[in-house]
Chain A
Amino acid sequence: MQQARIEITHKDRELSISFFGEFNLYHINDCESQIKKYDLRTLDKITLDFLQTNSLDTAAALFLNRLQKDLSQRNINIKWLLENKEIEETLQLIRERKIESKNLPSHKKRTFLEYIGDATCKNYRGFLDFISFLGVLFYAKFSALLSWKNLRYKEIFYEMNESAIKALLIVAITSFLIGVVVAYQSAYQLKIYGANIFIVDMLGLSILRELSPLITAIIIAGRSGSAYTAQIGAMKITEELDAMRTMGFDPYLFLVIPRIVALMIAMPILIFISDVMALFGGMIISNIYLDISSSLFIERFSNVIAAKHFFVGIVKGPFFAFLIATIAIHRGLRVQNDTQSIGINTTKSVVESIFAVIVCDAIFSVFFTNLGI
Chain B
Amino acid sequence: MQAIIEVRDLKTVFDTNVVHNGLNLTINEGEIYGLLGPSGCGKSTLLREMVMLQKFEGGDIKIFGKSLKRMSHKESQALCRRWGVLFQAGALFTSLNLYDNIALPLKEYTDLSENMIQDIVKFKLDIVGLKQDDAFLYPSQISGGMKKKASLARALSMDPKLLFLDEPTSGLDPISAREFDRLILKLRSLLGLSIVMVSHDLRSIYDTLDRLAVIDNKKIVYEGTLDMIHQEKSEFIQTFFKAAHE
Tell me the A residues contacting B by CB distance below 8 Å. 24-26, 28-29, 32, 57-59, 62-63, 66, 86, 93-94, 97, 99-100, 102-105, 107, 336-340
Contact = CB atoms under 8 A, between A and B. Distances in A.
- Determine the main DSSP class of A at the interface with B: helix
Contacts of B138: 338
Contact of A340 (B94, B123, B136, B191): B94
A338 B99 CA distance: 17
Interface string B117-144: 0111011001100001101101110000
B111 A58 contact: no
Contact of A59 (B112, B132, B133): B112
Given A25-B112, A86-B192, A105-B135, A62 B127 contact: no
Nearest to B97: A107
B78 to A, nearest CB: 11
Shortest Cβ-Cβ A-B pairs, 6 listed:
A338-B94, A57-B159, A337-B140, A340-B95, A29-B111, A62-B119
B147 to A, nearest CB: 12
12 contacts: A25-B112, A25-B159, A26-B111, A28-B110, A28-B116, A63-B119, A66-B116, A97-B127, A100-B119, A104-B122, A105-B133, A105-B136
Contacts of A107: 136
Looking at A24, A26, A94, which has the most chain B CB atoms within 10 Å of its CB?
Answer: A26
B94 A104 contact: no
Nearest to B120: A59
B158 interface: yes
A28 to B, nearest CB: 6
Contacts of B133: 105
Interface in B176-212: 190-192
Contacts of A26: 110-111
Interface string B135-161: 110111000000000000000001100
Interface string B59-100: 000000000000000000000000000000000001100010
A338 B136 contact: no
Nearest to B92: A338
Given A25-B159, A59-B112, A97-B123, A103 B132 contact: yes
Interface residues of B, number: 29
A11 to B, nearest CB: 28
A165 B155 CA distance: 47
B191 A104 contact: no
A63 B116 contact: yes
B106 interface: yes
Looking at A24, A63, A94, A100, which has the most chain B CB atoms within 10 Å of its CB?
Answer: A63
Contacts of A63: 116, 119
B206 to A, nearest CB: 27
Contacts of B115: 66
Given A57-B159, A99-B119, A105-B135, A28 B95 contact: no
B113 interface: yes
Contact of A58 (B112, B113, B159): B159
A105 to B, nearest CB: 5
A66 B119 CA distance: 9
Contacts of B120: 25, 58-59, 62
A58 to B, nearest CB: 5
Contacts of B127: 97
B122 A28 contact: no
B99 A59 contact: no
Given A94-B123, A102-B126, A338-B140, 6 more contacts: A25-B106, A25-B110, A26-B111, A66-B116, A336-B140, A337-B140
Given A29-B112, A86-B192, A340-B94, A99 B158 contact: no
B190 A93 contact: yes
A7 to B, nearest CB: 20
B123 A58 contact: yes
Contact of B112 (A28, A86, A102): A28
Contacts of B139: 338
Contacts of A24: 159
A238 to B, nearest CB: 11
A102 B136 contact: no
A176 B126 CA distance: 64
A63 B117 CA distance: 10
Given A24-B159, A336-B140, A339-B94, A102 B116 contact: no
A104 B118 contact: yes
